[in-house]
Structure 1
């Protein structure tokens, strides 16, 4: 099962995802994709870990999610935007390579027998980017969001902390 949760920045996506996963399992996996940029960012990451508590299995992986065996688990992948950033900046201006690597890695993780709850940002809601690099990233983010949504069983959008279900091929309620 794949459940994609999208929305704007600070919309409540992660809180919704954490609540949802805890309704499904008492031993969830949190797969965090952010690079540590500076000391303030590191403190924020540590605060998030402390808030989640000891029942979570924490995995920090910047790019190669598939190297972690999460078969038979329920996994919260947070977030696609930060994960794509890692490929985007590592690949320079080779956007095709970034998209290909991201799709390849997603296909690998989706082949594992587990449930995925995936958080991503809906960047297209924020207006037109002010520079070429931001526009390129928005295009890549939109392409990958559509790729995941196409494979997802459930897609929810969170607006001001309120989740709205926009796709459900399983016909289950949350």
Structure 2
């Protein structure tokens, strides 16, 4: 079973940098598990910026949804991030909230059966502006419920506030 550290917070709060430093402190060869699906050029640039932040120590694995198909046993794994991973489920489930949540939870449960040190980055969407349309509200709900599910299983949870990690569990 995985040892889970959840790092959550708002956009540009320092989540990824904090999680990366944590992983580098735990392993000489950490794994970066990227869950992004490249939707447009702006997003491709963001991905390239994240890639440039990591050096040759990192093993990079790109996986949009099926995290459990990779063997991470005995490794330190940084999953960045839950939000992008959930976006893929939401899109592929035709924006059906319940179906996406059920599929994501099932995959998550399979994934964490591995004996690994897992650091997970996610976003706190519910702390910002109320979503203006139905699909955005559904996604914010999906994110919030999945965050609760992961946090309940996590050994440690940090909330990033303006670049400062606040340990909450």
Same fold by TM-score, threshold 0.5 exceeded?
yes
- Bigger shift: residues 100-109 or 43-52: 43-52
| TM-score when normalising by structure 1 | 0.93
Shift, 1:5, TM fit: 0.5
- Give the match for residue 75 of structure 2: 73
Match status 1:47 vs 2:49: yes
- Give the match for residue 142 of structure 1: 144
SS of the residue corresponding to residue 121 of structure 1 reads coil
Q: Find the aligned partners of 2:165 and 2:23 in 1 and give their Cα distance.
A: 14
Shift, 1:139, TM fit: 0.5
Match status 1:14 vs 2:16: yes
Q: Deviations along 1:5-29, whole A, 9 cap, x unmatched?
A: 0000110000000011111111000
| TM-score when normalising by structure 2 | 0.95
Q: Find the aligned partners of 2:56 and 2:140 in 1 and give their Cα distance.
A: 35
- Give the match for residue 129 of structure 1: 131
- Give the match for residue 99 of structure 2: 97
Shift, 1:76, TM fit: 0.2
SS of the residue corresponding to residue 3 of structure 1 reads strand
Q: Find the aligned partners of 1:12 and 1:93 in 2 and give their Cα distance.
A: 29
SS of the residue corresponding to residue 63 of structure 1 reads coil
- Give the match for residue 85 of structure 1: 87
Shift, 1:48, TM fit: 2.0
SS of the residue corresponding to residue 2 of structure 1 reads strand
- Bigger shift: residues 47-56 or 102-111: 47-56
Task: Please provide the CA RMSD for this pair.
Answer: 1.0
Q: Find the aligned partners of 2:6 and 2:162 in 1 and give their Cα distance.
A: 17
SS of the residue corresponding to residue 54 of structure 1 reads coil
Shift, 1:79, TM fit: 0.4
- Bigger shift: residues 95-104 or 143-152: 95-104
Aligned length: 167
Q: Which runs of 4+ in 1 moved over 3 A?
A: none
Q: Find the aligned partners of 1:162 and 1:14 in 2 and give their Cα distance.
A: 12
